[in-house]
């Protein structure tokens, strides 16, 4: 139920013209173009009466019909409107009681982080430092009003000329809680989710966003995530049970990221400490070490739109290659891998949440269960994580 951005950008870049079925206005805003769409709604570029450009998100009808969702959406919008900071896109207006609830935020022109890596490759030291400190400050501004982002990923980071902007912090929790109530499924993008999001989603705190920030920084310098697997299920398993792959991340960033990626939330640094650590990052020098898989390119397809599809969501993250050797992936996947599903598209990339929590011991039972149901290795449906 993520907002899925069009290939040219969620909020920035070239917009798509309105179609015959799109409204002309939402609230007091005249719609100009369609910026993106997804399982939860549609994002439009709009203009206020004063000429100010905004991004208006309109919720799909099926959510609008659910009163519980409306209540949560109303609460989260109220909290998000209190968020202000240099590195967030502020909420300017909203109507949770409209026939189809909507929210207007400041329009920020610029590519997403995933698009930036696709176009120009991984970040250099100065760019990385600006990104890291900007994200940490944005999380501070979000957390201090009681909001947990829950979906910090490359598609939700805009690379403006004067620093990054974190978007979609106002509705993540409303949608997540709605999904848990109605379907019992965990929502997220596995390469950038925390272990607790995957195994204990009702216990998620701001420490989960710190974990996601760590994965984003690895992605920013390598074009790959630290837990990439050959399917969303394997990626999710590695997030919960395996150490991160950081062989291509140079010090001092590596030491900071290792702390952010601690499995236990209490072992991760708080935002204030994290800002102090990130402030020590140099603005010059190498940020990428000569690790395994570094010859596979720097960004490009592995880090951009095409690569993201193997992780379960187009354009949102790293590709299939994680820098790990095939033998290591095979060893880690032994006893838990149920087959490639449908491959890069990741549409069969979900598994049972209980299987993730039990670890490798659950896999033989899962295979026997699938044989009884007549599901072959290539047809297994893994239900733990619905990749967005």
Active-site residue set: 151
Q: Are 41 and 92 in contact (CB under 8 A)?
A: no
In Å, how far are 91, 238, 362 from 73, measured between CA atoms? 13, 32, 36
Alpha carbon distance 30, 312 (integer Å): 34
Q: Give the pairing of strands 16-17 and 163-166.
A: unpaired
- Cα 113 from chain centroid? 11
For residue 107, how many C-alpha atoms fall within 13 Å in the half-sphere facing its CB?
25
End-to-end CA distance of the chain: 6
Helices (H) and strands (E) in the chain, counts: 15, 11
Q: Are 134 and 87 in contact (CB under 8 A)?
A: yes
Question: Can you spell out the DSSP letters for 200-230?
Answer: -GGG--HHHHHHHHHHHHHHHHHSS-TT--S
Q: Give the pairing of strands 53-59 and 91-95.
A: unpaired
> Which residues, at least 6 apart from 296, have a Cβ–Cβ distance to it below 8 Å?
302, 321, 323
> Which residues, at least 6 apart from 223, have a Cβ–Cβ distance to it below 8 Å?
117, 121, 122, 297, 298, 299, 300, 302, 303, 304, 307, 318, 319
Q: Are 167 and 10 in contact (CB under 8 A)?
A: yes
For residue 64, how many C-alpha atoms fall within 13 Å in the half-sphere facing its CB?
15
Given the structure tokens 């997804």, which residue do they identify? Answer: 38
Q: Are 170 and 103 in contact (CB under 8 A)?
A: yes
Alpha carbon distance 188, 190 (integer Å): 6
Residue among 241, 264, 232 at smallest CA distance from 339: 232
């Amino acid at each position: 139920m993520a907002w899925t951005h069009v290939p040219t950008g969620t909020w920035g870049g070239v917009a798509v013209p309105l179609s015959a079925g799109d409204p002309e206005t939402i609230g007091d805003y005249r719609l100009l173009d369609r910026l993106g769409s997804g399982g939860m709604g549609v994002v439009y570029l709009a203009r206020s009466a004063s000429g100010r450009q905004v991004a208006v998100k309109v919720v799909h009808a099926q959510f609008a019909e659910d009163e519980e969702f409306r209540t949560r959406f109303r609460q989260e919008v109220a909290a998000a409107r209190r968020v202000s900071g240099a590195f967030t896109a502020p909420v300017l207006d909203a109507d949770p009681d409209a026939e189809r609830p909507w929210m207007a935020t400041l329009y920020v022109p610029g590519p997403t982080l995933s698009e930036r890596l696709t176009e120009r490759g991984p970040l250099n030291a100065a760019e990385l430092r600006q990104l890291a400190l900007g994200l940490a400050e944005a999380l501070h501004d979000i957390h201090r009003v009681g909001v947990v982002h829950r979906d910090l990923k490359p598609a939700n980071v805009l690379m403006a000329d004067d620093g990054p902007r974190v978007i979609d912090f106002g509705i993540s929790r409303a949608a997540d809680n709605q999904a848990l109530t109605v379907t019992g499924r965990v929502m997220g993008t596995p390469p950038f989710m925390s272990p607790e999001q995957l195994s204990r989603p009702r216990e998620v705190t701001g420490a989960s966003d710190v974990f996601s920030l760590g994965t984003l920084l690895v992605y920013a310098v390598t074009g790959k995530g630290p837990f990439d697997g050959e399917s969303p299920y394997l990626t999710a398993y590695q997030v919960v049970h395996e150490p991160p792959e950081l062989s291509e991340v140079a010090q001092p960033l590596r030491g900071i990221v290792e702390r952010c990626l601690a499995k236990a939330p209490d072992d991760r640094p708080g935002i204030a400490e994290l800002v102090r650590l990130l402030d020590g990052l140099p603005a010059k020098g190498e940020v990428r070490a000569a690790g395994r898989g570094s010859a596979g390119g720097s960004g490009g397809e592995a880090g951009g739109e095409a690569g993201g599809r193997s992780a379960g969501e187009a354009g949102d993250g790293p590709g299939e290659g994680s820098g790990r050797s095939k033998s290591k992936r095979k060893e880690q996947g032994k006893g838990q891998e149920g087959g490639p599903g449908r491959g890069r598209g990741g549409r069969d990339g979900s598994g049972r949440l209980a299987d993730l929590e039990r670890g490798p011991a659950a896999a033989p039972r899962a295979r026997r269960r699938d044989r009884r149901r007549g599901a072959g290795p290539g047809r297994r449906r893994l239900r733990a994580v619905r990749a967005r």
